[in-house]
Chains A and B, each alone.
Chain A
């Protein structure tokens, strides 16, 4: 046998193995849904609390057709995307200001530690009072939850840039801005992108909590209002949509990460 057929055999083998995993994963999902359906159908689990796949699906169809679901999805999606972009952007900007002044960074250090340790959702009611029960409050919540950790992670990436790269720039008599643009920023790009990935998840937390509090629209509002009237079909519907959307968003950022890393020739 020549190497070419051996290689083809190897590829075919790999492909079979991958397909097998995919099928097993899908099978597990189907099993989960069947178990959910059966247990609630035969009342092993109370369908009033645990709903059921068919009930959720029927609700989904009816809410799509009467147009009452899409606005909620749209609002939540918008809030999440803006929240995680703002969180990362502001985190980067604050990190830059910390980097540009050592004194500022040292003064801010204990405050950052405290702010990072504080559970951000605890000040949710304050945000509600300050910004009023509207989208703004949700956005603030979503941003706040990711901005501090982004700042800390990105700032420490700035500080960990190999000092020999900085030495070379000093020999070129580069100013602070040039140093940042040519060395610090590109060297930290992988970290900034990885915070983007973490912040997607955090923003979802912030948005849902924010919507619980503001309680006027969005998937978080659907969960809360469904719970209040003991309509768990709505709760599970909102939950399923959140899971799907959050996963898609995470995968999207992951693809963006790969594309960017390739573009900057890093990683």
Chain B
């Protein structure tokens, strides 16, 4: 089942003197329950695309169709942006409170599932970076979004926390049956976590290639996926494609 359909999307940023074409003729679909990654050179418009999908920016042209009633979008950024003046519990509850559906049980169940119940009365500054990103995920999941947008959510973490969190996110999204789009600079991360990878061109960003991840890798959690025999060949393949398009280094 198709969850979201993007057609002929174009976006320009205007300034007094000039304009920037951030996205040009972007077309893709995301199926319900799918995990899709976007990779591409810096500044090609990936974050802009996520902002458009989230409804934060109105695109200059093109359409986005959600095939679901009342689509709700969850957004995770590079930093957690937990509100430092609210406790962990209040942070997770906030979205529900605004939707007038505040039910502390949802928060407690989430914290319990994340094994972070003890952090409920604490403030974000008392938690480690990895814990804070998990709380940010909980805050995003609390409002039960139809689509999750993850904009490099692991890039501010150390390697060890990043691997743990990758596993955690994939497991959680499967458990809650969520559809997600991940933007990343890390090809290995994209392969290990997703079902499909969309490769973007230089700015103005457009989709130039799709890689489907083999079932065998998909079935494994990200950490084990990296050790699967098919992983390295796929990595090499994507790497070669990137080189062929003239950006050996997408970071």
Chain A residues with a Cβ under 8 A of chain B:
162, 164-165, 167-174, 178, 182-183, 186-187, 189, 264-266
Contact = CB atoms under 8 A, between A and B. Distances in A.
Contacts of B239: none
A171 B74 CA distance: 7
A162 B85 CA distance: 14
B7 to A, nearest CB: 23
A96 to B, nearest CB: 18
Interface in B118-146: 123, 125, 143
B83 A164 contact: no
Contacts of A266: 84-85
Contact of A171 (B54, B84, B85, B86): B54
A186 B85 contact: yes
A189 B84 CA distance: 12
10 contacts: A164-B79, A165-B81, A167-B56, A171-B54, A171-B74, A173-B98, A178-B98, A183-B83, A187-B85, A265-B84
For chain B, the bracket of interface size reads 10 to 19
Interface string B73-89: 11101010101111000
B131 to A, nearest CB: 17
B56 A174 contact: no
A168 to B, nearest CB: 6
Nearest to B149: A171
A162 B82 CA distance: 12
B204 interface: no
A263 to B, nearest CB: 10
B95 interface: yes
A182 B197 CA distance: 37
Contacts of A165: 81, 83
A178 B85 CA distance: 15
Given A168-B81, A182-B94, A186-B85, 20 more contacts: A162-B81, A164-B77, A164-B81, A165-B83, A167-B75, A167-B81, A169-B98, A171-B54, A171-B56, A172-B98, A173-B99, A174-B98, A183-B83, A186-B83, A186-B86, A187-B85, A264-B85, A265-B85, A265-B123, A266-B85
Contact of A182 (B73, B83, B125): B83
A186 B84 CA distance: 9
A174 B79 CA distance: 21
A265 B77 CA distance: 23
Nearest to B126: A265
A265 B98 CA distance: 22
A163 to B, nearest CB: 10
